[in-house]
């Protein structure tokens, strides 16, 4: 759309300038006014490739990662709030190749149920790529090993299952790294959430949510430049250097990005996790246990205050 709009406006401007040239003998003063524009338009008009490069936005991509538990519930807002708001971006949708999931030992919310990607595959196209990884294929990643993570276990409220889930989510991010490298601007989102707010991935170089930080940084979403994305998504490279007392997704991310905090935009963007049985974590973006009210106040309590 953007390309089309620029092309059309360039065309009209060019026609207008040709028209002015026709009248040039009698309209010397007007030609003086448009002379600066003439140079720009004229240059582009001679070389189509230059026109294309000048107006085509740099490549961008929207990544969705993790274990897509209920695509029937999550895809509608994924399209309306994210994909349709960044229509020029390629979509790369990763999930684990599993047919069911079960986490009976998680302290705060066990879940169990069937995974079905039928509603996802309907959208597969050259600009909507689907990548299933790990899971039943037995694919293994060597770094960081799960035993290493478990040796750091466990922060209060964490269990072996939480660590294993963290490990899987990092594996998903690792899968995306070579793809991220192909785009200049990217958004990286969990694939098991209902989006409440719209996101324009060009609105920041380095955005992460300001809520759900749990004395660290929220580790569930990023958008911005490729360089920052690679750092955010490739975070496990530095795990062996981590010297914080408590290894959790959030505390580790805050440690990793400690020198970048001043240039991070901590954004309000809200999205709610969905469990495999269809429960929606309605208090995800707020401090209280009340159900989420899109018009109500967002998270404000100390636990979520950054730095
Ligand atoms: C998913 O795993 C099954 C084996 O459980 C395998 O047959 C299938 O090819 C895998 N699909 C993808 C897309 O990797």
Which CA distances in Å does 129 have to 80, 94, 124?
Answer: 18, 8, 6
| Most trustworthy range by pLDDT among 3-7, 66-70, 167-171 | 66-70
Pick 21 or 235 by higher pLDDT. 235
Q: Whose CA is nearest to atom 1 of ligand 1?
A: 97
The predicted pLDDT at position 287 comes to: 53
Structure confidence by residue, pLDDT tens digits, 136-159: 544 555 567 878 877 777 766 677
pLDDT at 185 over 50: yes
Q: Whose CA is nearest to atom 12 of ligand 1?
A: 132
Structure confidence by residue, pLDDT tens digits, 54-63: 556 579 999 9
The angle formed by the CA atoms of residues 254, 257 and 262, to the nearest 5 degrees, is 105
Ligand 1 centroid, distance to 97 Cα (angstroms): 6
Ligand 1 centroid, distance to 133 Cα (angstroms): 9
The predicted pLDDT at position 57 comes to: 55
pLDDT at 161 over 80: no
Name every protein residue with a CB atom under 6 angstroms from any ligand 1 atom. Answer: 97, 132, 136-137
Structure confidence by residue, pLDDT tens digits, 15-57: 444 343 444 444 334 333 333 333 333 333 334 444 445 556 5
Comparing CA positions, the residue from 76, 187, 176 lying closest to residue 129 is 176
Among 130, 134, 136, which is best to mutate for testing ligand 1, by the most ligand atoms less than 8 A from CB?
Answer: 136
In percent, how much of the chain has pLDDT > 90?
46
User: Which residues, including other chains, have CB under 8 Å from residue 164's CB and lie 6 or more apart?
Assistant: 146, 149, 150
Pair 58, 185: CB distance under 8 Å = yes
Among 132, 133, 172, which is best to mutate for testing ligand 1, by the most ligand atoms less than 8 A from CB?
Answer: 132
Ligand 1 centroid, distance to 216 Cα (angstroms): 36
Q: Whose CA is nearest to atom 5 of ligand 1?
A: 136
Ligand 1 centroid, distance to 181 Cα (angstroms): 26
Ligand 1 centroid, distance to 95 Cα (angstroms): 12
- Kindly report whether the global pTM for this prediction surpasses the value 0.85: no
Q: How confident is the model at residue 240 (pLDDT cuts 50, 70, 90)?
A: confident
């Amino acid at each position: 759309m953007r390309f089309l709009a620029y092309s059309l406006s360039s065309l009209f401007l060019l026609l207008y300038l040709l028209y002015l040239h026709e009248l040039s003998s009698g309209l010397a003063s007007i030609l003086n006014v448009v002379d600066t524009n003439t140079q720009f338009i004229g240059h582009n008009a001679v070389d189509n490739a230059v026109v294309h490069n000048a107006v085509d936005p740099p490549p961008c991509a929207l990544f969705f990662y993790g274990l897509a538990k209920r695509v029937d519930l999550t895809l509608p807002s994924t399209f309306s709030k994210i994909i349709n708001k960044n229509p020029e971006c390629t979509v790369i949708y990763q999930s684990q190749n599993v047919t069911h999931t079960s986490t009976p030992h998680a302290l705060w919310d066990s879940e169990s149920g069937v995974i079905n990607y039928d509603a996802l595959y309907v959208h597969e196209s050259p600009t909507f790529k689907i990548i299933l990884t790990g899971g039943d294929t037995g694919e293994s990643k060597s770094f960081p090993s799960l035993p290493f993570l478990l040796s750091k276990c466990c922060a209060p409220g964490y269990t072996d299952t939480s660590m294993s889930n963290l490990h899987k989510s990092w594996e998903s991010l690792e899968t995306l790294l070579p793809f991220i490298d192909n785009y200049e601007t990217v958004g990286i989102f969990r694939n098991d959430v209902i989006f409440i707010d719209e996101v324009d991935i060009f609105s920041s170089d380095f955005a992460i949510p300001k809520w759900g930080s749990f004395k660290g940084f929220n580790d569930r979403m990023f958008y911005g430049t490729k360089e920052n994305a690679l750092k955010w998504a490739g975070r496990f490279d530095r795990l062996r250097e981590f010297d914080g007392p408590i290894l959790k997704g959030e505390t580790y991310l805050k440690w990793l990005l400690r020198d970048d905090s001043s240039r991070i935009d901590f954004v309000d963007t809200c999205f709610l996790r969905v469990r495999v049985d269809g429960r929606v974590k309605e208090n995800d973006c707020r401090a209280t246990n009340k159900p989420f009210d899109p018009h109500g106040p967002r998270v404000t309590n100390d636990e979520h205050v950054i730095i």
